[in-house]
Structure 1
């Protein structure tokens, strides 16, 4: 069990050098050089994805023109999380997004900034969110309590959702891979097929969880 969870240990090192968290920022080193190259099919594909995401986030803001530039923040957040999710799919690469330290440090500052901005700039709207329209008078105190609790736990749910999904898939791949040495030879091809299918599923989850994290963060910002 110690070896099974060693890949998630942030204190592990390579030749006494704590290099685990460096994988989180490797992609940032490649961005400046790519700006000087002739646009390739990959560049066009990435531009299409970012523009599509920009349109998706614009729908949440509606006609709030002053906040439309905030969509670029969430597109960048999506790209950053997706990059780290994919980095974790490579062997012997530390998965930073499987740790609550990483995911909570992304979710909490965003949520806190949305709350501070909402309470200072749109105070009446923040009070209106506490009691949904049409709520009976006797239930209003309970609705305020429930809405406050649901609001407070938002950064925690964002962080736990992302970390739990990353850990679950990686553990399943590790458990199946560890059984290879104990299986009969004729079962090895089936194990490889299952591993490839799970790796494909994990690639899809890496993209979906990045999108969910970014879209929920944008949704929370529109309610502030």
Structure 2
């Protein structure tokens, strides 16, 4: 886990010193990697954009003000989804919390608060009771959260998310995947705005291929 965290930090840190001209066509093997085995999308017929993230990642947190306005303006033929990266320890705990909140239909209401609690308030939020107590301050029913968190359905989603991360072959976060075919991150894309440039171009590429 230590190596994964350090790897994510190094990739993201190096990214902020790079720039990408928005008008330059992106190139496979440079700004992004094309997967040899494409991963099926969750909504066939739509162009899927996935962000793999971790609540404990400061670079994921810093990416929020850049990616969120972009997501809000995505056209109807694009399906955006977040998948928690789970590489053990707190990654798994935070990932299971995210999936629980998503299943309860409240993740969008508390996403920013959870990020802030971990990144700025230095809360660990790695134990279910600790999570539930904090989330109760955000209007989330404590008992329902704990019951959902420990449910068989959520455990199945945890396994699915871990398997997807393997299929995407991601090594750090934040990482992006377009239509189950193309992966890229802050380092390869040239920083936060570069990520959106790569995503836009690959979305257009997939749209034209339909």
TM over 0.5: no
* Greater share of residues in helix: 1
Structure with larger Rg = 1
Q: TM-score, normalised by structure 2?
A: 0.29
Q: Which has the higher contact order (CA 8 A, sep 6+)?
A: 2
